[in-house]
Structure 1
Amino acid sequence: MISHEHRFIFIHIPKCAGTSIEQVFGHLDSHRGRGGQDHRSLRMLQPAFSNLHRLHERGNLFEVGRRFKHHLSPNVSNPNNKIQVSPRQYQDYFKFTIVRNPWARAYSWYRNYIRDPLHKGAAGQSDISFHEFLHQHAGRGMLRSQLYCITDYTGRVDMDYIGRFENLNADFGTICNKIGIETPDLPHKTKGDGADYRDAYDQANRDLISTIYQEEIKLFDYAFD
């Protein structure tokens, strides 16, 4: 999400309270229905042409392709999801994101997946176990590594502030203070069912998440418990 009014870039990692943050800043005001969230990665927003020599590295070419496909697609229903920044704005704007415990995040996406008939229908699956879901989706698509979403073309995590889902209200207050606004209440736009993610994991699936997301687990000092 890009806000020229407040001069910030927010990287909305799925299942990390991003829809609530977008709602607060009016990103969804002109949109009705599904698909209004802005899940563009940092590299989809970062001006690419000053980094042409790096486009073959670390999936950069893939992200450039996603960027142009997204920009040209008639299926992007929220016009705010096509807002761009200039190189100067990219350098000057406050960049932030929210991250989440990867075990909790994966389970939250699973719960959302099995509640949503469109997700299941699109995949041709009327029923799927958590074990099957993890082996199909962990590390891919909406469950890409959180670091993948917030690294620039050099492979650096280019964020001015990284908040935590587990400390959301306090960290969102810090974000608003840095932006220079009063802290509004965050709506629970896509509230979960309150189930404890730890009850869903056996040792094998717990280890699977540890392996796939080991880099972010180490960087953000997350643990299963």
Structure 2
Amino acid sequence: MLLSLKYNFLFVHIAKTGGTSVRDSLRPLRLRDPWYPVQFLCSRLSALSGHRLGIKFPRHSKIIAAKEMLPAETFDTLFKFVFVRNPWDLQVSSFHHIRRERPHLMSHIETFDQFMRWKLDPERPYQFHVDTSIELQSDYVIDLHGKVLVDFMGRYENLAADFDEACRRIGVKPPALLHKRQATDRKKDYRSYYTDELAEMVARHFEPDIRIFGYRFDPE
């Protein structure tokens, strides 16, 4: 999550949706914010306390955290935006990320099919810190009543153009969009990883994301 009081925006960062690129590209704006030194100090104090002080938004905070912690008049006037990603594509990204970054967790898994069945097994507790993409993306943008709280939902599939639109709404000239963490070890088309059965399993688990964001397995 990235908050700028000077530029009046709140960016909700969902993992593996291009958010690192967006954060790094907008960071210079944050450095110009008069409140940045205070935010930086709070961040350091939070880290030194083991994040027990409750004075910092974690990188992947849900928007409900900002709504609860910020004054209502501040939260309501912020331009709030997020980037989301096709759930079927996101799971392919998750597979390659864990295989690359945490191979010890994949010692018993060889294929994407095995990975998803292991991941979605209701009998096996899944650890959030291992892979945030088990969570619904929609949970990051709704309140406790299911109301969408963001003003703009950009798409990973249209990252550059939607980033420019977000900057336009913030009221700044779009900086160069930095590209981070691009995987090179996957097939280009996520659909090639799926059987019909596996695609349906993902559709059931991530149904709220598909409904709220309007994604389909086969893009139009």
TM-score band w.r.t. shorter chain: 0.7 to 0.9
Q: What is the match of residue 191 of structure 1?
A: 182
What is the CA–CA distance in structure 1 between the aligned matches of 2:117 and 2:27, rounded to whole Å? Answer: 36
Q: CA deviation at 1:127?
A: 4.8
Q: What is the match of residue 99 of structure 2?
A: 114
Q: What is the match of residue 94 of structure 1?
A: 79
Q: What is the match of residue 71 of structure 1?
A: none
Q: CA deviation at 1:131?
A: 2.3
1:44 counterpart = 2:65: yes
Instruction: Name which one, 1 or 2, has greater alpha-carbon Rg.
Output: 2
Q: What is the match of residue 153 of structure 2?
A: 162
Q: Which amino acid aligns with 1:216?
A: D
Q: How many residues end up aligned between the 2 structures?
A: 181
Q: What TM-score, normalized to structure 1?
A: 0.72
SS in 2 for 1:98: strand
Give CA-to-partner distance per residue, 1:182-204, whole Å, 9 cap, x none: 11121111112252211111222
What is the CA–CA distance in structure 2 between the aligned matches of 1:224 and 1:5, rounded to whole Å? Answer: 40
Gaps of 5+ in 2: 32-39, 44-57
Is residue 114–residue 127 contact of structure 1 (8 Å, CA) maintained in 2? no
Is residue 8–residue 79 contact of structure 2 (8 Å, CA) maintained in 1? yes
How has the CA–CA distance of structure 1 residues 185 and 137 changed in structure 2, closer, same or farther, with 3 Å as cutoff?
farther
What is the CA–CA distance in structure 1 between the aligned matches of 2:154 and 2:198, rounded to whole Å? Answer: 26
How has the CA–CA distance of structure 1 residues 208 and 99 changed in structure 2, closer, same or farther, with 3 Å as cutoff?
same
Give CA-to-partner distance per residue, 1:147-179, whole Å, 9 cap, x none: 111111322111111111111111111100000
How has the CA–CA distance of structure 1 residues 136 and 88 changed in structure 2, closer, same or farther, with 3 Å as cutoff?
farther
Identity of aligned residues (%): 30
What is the CA–CA distance in structure 1 between the aligned matches of 2:145 and 2:197, rounded to whole Å? Answer: 34
SS in 2 for 1:190: coil
Q: What is the match of residue 145 of structure 1?
A: 136
Q: CA deviation at 1:99?
A: 1.0
1:1-225 pair list within 5 angstroms: 1=1, 2-26=3-27, 38-47=59-68, 85-116=70-101, 119-121=102-104, 123=105, 125-128=106-109, 129-138=111-120, 141=128, 142-143=132-133, 144-193=135-184, 195=187, 196-225=189-218
Is residue 147–residue 216 contact of structure 1 (8 Å, CA) maintained in 2? yes
What is the CA–CA distance in structure 2 between the aligned matches of 1:131 and 1:115, rounded to whole Å? Answer: 17
Q: What TM-score, normalized to structure 2?
A: 0.73
Q: CA deviation at 1:44?
A: 2.0
Moved more, 159-168 or 20-29: 20-29
Is residue 26–residue 175 contact of structure 2 (8 Å, CA) maintained in 1? no
